[in-house]
Every structure is written in C-alpha cells, then in structure tokens.
Structure 1
Amino acid sequence: MNDHTDKSFMKGYPSRKIEKMYSSKVRIGNWFEELELRKEKTELYIQKRENKELVVQKIRELFHNVCRETRLSRNEDYIKFGNKIQLFAPDMQSSRPNCENINYGVVVAGTVPQDAIGKISRFGNRSPVVCYPKSTPCTRNTFTIKSADYQNRDGNNLLFGQEFILQLTDSPGEDLYLRSPTPLVDDTRGPRQHNRILLSNIKDCYSIWKVLCWDNKMRFETEGSPFPSSTRVVITHMMTGECLAVEGSDWYTSIFGNECGISVHTYRDIFKRETAECLWMFITEEIPRCIEERCE
C-alpha cells in the first residue's frame, strides 16, 4: 500500500478508532507512553475534583468563606462592646499615590499571601492583615469588640482609654484576633520595618488595644467617656504604646485586588499630633461615599 492509499484509508477513521485498531503490543515507544500519561492525568484530575482538591475549587471556597457579606451592628448612640464594626481610615488615599482618580478611605481586612493561594480555604493563625479600599462589610473586614479582662461586657459602652480586643467576627474553626507580636531577631517585620499585624488565635497582652481622642489636647478630659460611631479616634497598641497606622506608600496587588500595608507605628506632625495614617473610625453602618471634612 503506497502513501496515498494509506492516507485515504486512515482519513475516515477518528483518532480513537485508530487507537482501538492496534493492541497494546503494537503500541510501543512514545505512542504508548503518551496514551498512558494522558490516561493517568485524566484519572488524577477526576480524583482531585471528587475530593475538592483542585486549585480552582479551593479558591472558590476561599472567596465564599472570607468574602461573605455580613451585617454590622447599628447603634444610635455610642460604640459598645459586642458591636460588629469595620475599622475605617477616612483620610487615607484608597489607591496608589500616582493614581489619576483620587479617592479616600480604606478598611482593615485579612488577606491571603501569594504562596498560600490554592492551599487554604479560610483564614488561620498568623494570616496577614492589610488595608484595602472596598467598603462592603464581609467576613474578612468585620470585627467584634471584645473585653480584654475576660468579662462579658457586651452592651456596655466602650470608653476612651479602656482596653479591648478585636476579634474577627466570622472565623470558623478557631477565634482569630488582631494581634501585633514583638518581632524576634530573625522574624519578618511589617512595612517599612515597623511592627506588623496578624490574625492570631492567641489572646494575650499583644492583642490588647485602647482608643484615644484624636485631639491630643482633649485626651485628659475625654478619658473614661464613651464616643459615637464615625468619630475620628486614635487606636493605640497597649504593649508598645504605638498607634495602629496605615502604610499608604506600601501598595501591592493580591488575589483580592489592590491592598496596602498596615502596621503599629505612630506618625506625628511637628505639633506632636497624630497624622492621617493613625486616624480611624469605628463604622457601624455603610461607609459614606464621600467624606466632606477630611483631616490633612
């Protein structure tokens, strides 16, 4: 049979029928190896799909767990223990410094590092914390105010100068808290070599915070008094005495979009007043689209 006759003979047969025409003894060399590899890959794919081990399945489950919408606690008067809130920095730019469209306002949220994508389906111990511009309340950016003295104070007003703990509201499996541990010699530091902030399952002195009045001249008079939501305050880390701060110059892209760093560090002006990086709001309702009065 010449080449022309051979091609015309093979033309009417699909590749799978041609494979069935020959027994395994005839399939030698690369042909047999490719068929076996293809069969093995197909079986492995089906097995991973049934066990929900595919990367796309894990990413889909991750977004379902950490981006589920939540409902904040709406107060008519003051911030209270047990409230579900967002930490909102209203005076920080919500995009990279060289961006054309300038908007303001970022919220604190948990995130997933690049090397963990496709390996985890929810936040765990030592998950990093960032700021990002999205304002919709969801499981990754909603925190519950808890008492630091192991007493149930839900419903009581949170006072200026009073110690408290921030717990991630929806963290199945284990409770996670906003924590800033003291870095060791060989430990990883946060943005600009400042103390970093993590989600941790450890509730100790490194996870305790307190609220101060944004005006340093009024702190003595306001200590021990409650404060309403959407009021600018300063959040201080008890162990270091430094402030919770947005690192507005440290932007990068993650699986959730553009995010910037957050750390424990006090930024002050020449009058020793905390600057916009350290000014926060406890949000118990939808964040306003625009802030008319903005601190420079």
Structure 2
Amino acid sequence: MTYQRLYQPKVKTGNWLEELHLKEDTMKDFLNKRERGELLSQKVDFLKQNILSPVNLSATINGELRFGDVVMLVNVGGKDREHSALSINANVDNLTKTFPPSIKMPCGVSAGKGIQACIRTAFIITSVDGSPEQSTLHYDQSFALRTTSGFAKGLYLTSDKPRFLKTAKKSGLQDVYLDETLSALSWWKISHFDPQERFESEGLPVPANEKVLVVHTMTNEGLAVLSEKLLWTAYGREYEVVAHTFLDTHRAEQDVNFWILGTSDPAGEGLLFLRHLQL
C-alpha cells in the first residue's frame, strides 16, 4: 500500500499554535537574558575577564617580605606534578547579583598550573598582631593572606580542623577556603623548609622568592598541594589544596608542602621566583 499525503505542507496540523508560541517565548527569554548578560557563556566570560586581570606584585628591594606586600604563593612542584599557584577557585555560582558583581561565599581555592600574576593568584600579607604596614615579616610570626579588594572582595585564606561536613572535597583532609571574616582560623606562619635550620631561623626575616613552609597557626598543619586529587574548574584541571603536613621517612616535610612567596623584580625583569623554579 502506497503512502498518500493527506495535507499539503502549508497546512497547519496538530498543536501548531502552541508550538509557535512556545518557540516565540523561548526566543524572547533568550534575547532578554542576553541583554541582561545572564547567559552562561556571558557569565563565564565576565568571570574570567575580571578574575584573570593582571596584578602587579610587590618588588622587594632587600629580598625580605613585608606586611602589605602583594605576592603569589607558588608550590615548587615535584616528580609527579608541575609548579602551581594558589588560586581562587571561583565559578559562575560564586558571582553576586549586586552591581558590579563580585565573588561571594562560600569560595574555595585550588592550585592552578598557570603561573600568572592576576587577581586570582594575588594575596596580600596582612598583619594580625598590630605590626605596622611595611614592617618586616619574621619566621613563626602569625599573619593573614588576603585577596585583593574590589572583585576579589578582600577575602582571607582560612582553614579549620576536619569535621563531618567540612573537609576537603576529594581527599577528606583539612579544608582550605576563603572567608570574609578575619579570625584565628585565618592565621598562618612561615617556617624554614629544612628542619635542621628551623630553630636557628626563628625570628629572622622571611626571604621572598625562597622555598619555605606555610603553616596554619591553629592546627600546625602545612599548606599542601595534592597532585593525585584533581579538580575540574572553570580554568581547567587543577590540584586540590589542603592543610596537612606530609612527612617522609626521616620525619621531614615533603615537597608538596614547599612554597615560594613570589614577588616581582625591582629592576623590571619579570617575576623573580621563576628563576628559582627553573633551577
């Protein structure tokens, strides 16, 4: 039996009117969202345009870190991982609805493989004990790490002991995140990376662009990068960051706990710490 067309193509059949209105409403909704900048692609572009804006790191003339310095925290890397920078792990869900938009809580951190001085990777060494601006930071002296103001909102790098509903997403270890409140949970200190030099270095100025340990003051756990725990972020695949001290068989910290607080070259020749990473 051959098929016979009962209607010409121009004849409207079925729920054609409802389908037409639905298509028109969908198009109107799309155009309205695009006009307001609410499309997902527009939000992603806006986020990256702002959070990846370049930032000028501080230039240390005598090689010592000071309160108020803008630095990058760069993990030195190892056999199974690349160098990585402590980074704000914000996605489109972390954008406020205020104008202009900025980052809102909760917001995590990660270790990005792109070594770029920008809003996402810049942190300000902030006093918590009344030390004046531009005074020298010393080993074992408590301080806070604050993001830049404006889009990054001046948030503090914070950590707390693991709890049932508050642990690192992948590893279950002590979580590290950003918080808008400065408290004892936001206090960190610098220790010498070599245990044999640790006692002698106590109270000495902390050098910039040198390998050190960044330790959470309250829990005494070291800031660490986990190469085997990968996070899928809006910026690509990155490492999970936790507060946990990893020791080798000699009871010395492993390279996952080694960081460089990087600054720029006073002579204008780029980032000083890049030379140390290439050694």
Q: Given that residues 126 and 199 in structure 1 are in contact (C-alpha distance below 8 angstroms), is that contact kept between their aligned partners in structure 2?
A: yes
Deviation at 1:292, TM superposition (A): 4.7
**Deviations 1:45-69 (Å, cap 9, x if unpaired)?**
1211222211111111111121111
Give the 4+ runs in structure 1 shifted more than 4 A.
117-122
Partner of 1:159: 138
TM-score, reference length from structure 1 = 0.81
Pair 1:91–1:28, CA change in 2 (3 A): closer
Partner of 1:111: 89
Query: For the residues of structure 1 that align with 2:195 and 2:30, how far apart are their CA atoms?
Result: 61
Counterparts of residues 19-98 of structure 1 (less than 5 Å)? 29-77=14-62, 78-92=64-78, 97=80
TM-score, reference length from structure 2 = 0.85
Q: Does 1:247 align with 2:197?
A: no
Q: Secondary structure at the match of 1:270?
A: coil
Query: For the residues of structure 2 that align with 1:31 and 1:62, how far apart are their CA atoms?
Result: 40
Query: For the residues of structure 1 that align with 2:27 and 2:278, how far apart are their CA atoms?
Result: 58
Q: Which amino acid in the other structure matches residue 135 of structure 1?
A: I
Deviation at 1:129, TM superposition (A): 0.6
Query: For the residues of structure 2 that align with 1:130 and 1:283, how far apart are their CA atoms?
Result: 17
1:197 to 176, 179, 188: 176
Deviation at 1:290, TM superposition (A): 7.0
Query: For the residues of structure 2 that align with 1:222 and 1:265, how far apart are their CA atoms?
Result: 22
Partner of 1:175: 154
Q: Given that residues 246 and 263 in structure 1 are in contact (C-alpha distance below 8 angstroms), is that contact kept between their aligned partners in structure 2?
A: yes
Q: Which amino acid in the other structure matches residue 231 of structure 1?
A: E
Q: Given that residues 244 and 262 in structure 1 are in contact (C-alpha distance below 8 angstroms), is that contact kept between their aligned partners in structure 2?
A: yes
Q: Given that residues 66 and 123 in structure 1 are in contact (C-alpha distance below 8 angstroms), is that contact kept between their aligned partners in structure 2?
A: no
2:113 to 116, 120, 133: 133
Partner of 1:23: none
What percentage of aligned pairs have identical amino acids?
A: 26
Query: For the residues of structure 1 that align with 2:60 and 2:44, how far apart are their CA atoms?
Result: 35
Aligned CA-pair RMSD: 2.7
Pair 1:145–1:170, CA change in 2 (3 A): same
Gaps of 5+ in 1: 11-17, 19-25, 98-102
Q: Given that residues 167 and 173 in structure 2 are in contact (C-alpha distance below 8 angstroms), is that contact kept between their aligned partners in structure 1?
A: no
Deviation at 1:173, TM superposition (A): 7.5
Q: Which amino acid in the other structure matches residue 127 of structure 1?
A: C
Q: Secondary structure at the match of 1:172?
A: helix
Query: For the residues of structure 2 that align with 1:279 and 1:145, how far apart are their CA atoms?
Result: 18
Q: Does 1:291 align with 2:277?
A: yes
Pair 1:227–1:118, CA change in 2 (3 A): closer
Q: Given that residues 102 and 152 in structure 2 are in contact (C-alpha distance below 8 angstroms), is that contact kept between their aligned partners in structure 1?
A: no
Query: Larger C-alpha radius of gyration, 1 or 2?
Result: 1
Q: Which amino acid in the other structure matches residue 88 of structure 1?
A: V
Moved more, 242-251 or 181-190: 181-190
Q: Secondary structure at the match of 1:92?
A: coil
Query: For the residues of structure 2 that align with 1:117 and 1:208, how far apart are their CA atoms?
Result: 24
